[in-house]
Amino acid sequence: MKEFKITYFFDEEHYIRRFIHVESQEKAEELVQMERDQYISFTDSRGIYHELNTRNVRVIQISEYHRIDKTKKY
């Protein structure tokens, strides 16, 4: 599984980020397309619950995310 970052932009200053685990970029795109014009809900990495109406989103970006383990010392 790969981790992808999805960013939902409402305007130039306001956005919400979501991280998902799927097999490929294509699967991430399919998920976003399937959720178009619907209410979705998720809890972010800080434990904050979000309900989002994707109809109000102006731009959605998807990118593969490479998490850095900050507990390791180099």
Indicate the domain borders of the chain. Answer: 2-64
**Residue at token pair 């180099």:** 74
Task: Summarize pLDDT for 3-61 with one digit per residue, the tens.
Answer: 999 999 999 999 999 999 999 999 999 999 999 999 999 998 889 999 999 998 999 99
Torsion over CA: 6, 9, 10, 13 (sign): positive
Tell me the backbone φ, ψ of residue 56, rounded to 5 degrees.
-90, 0
Query: With a threshold of 0.85, does the pTM exceed it?
Result: no
Residues 6+ away with beta carbon under 8 Å from 61: 5, 6, 7, 9
The Cβ of residue 71 has, within 10 Å, a number of other Cβ atoms equal to 5
Angle, CA 23 vertex, CA 17 and CA 28 arms, to 5°: 40
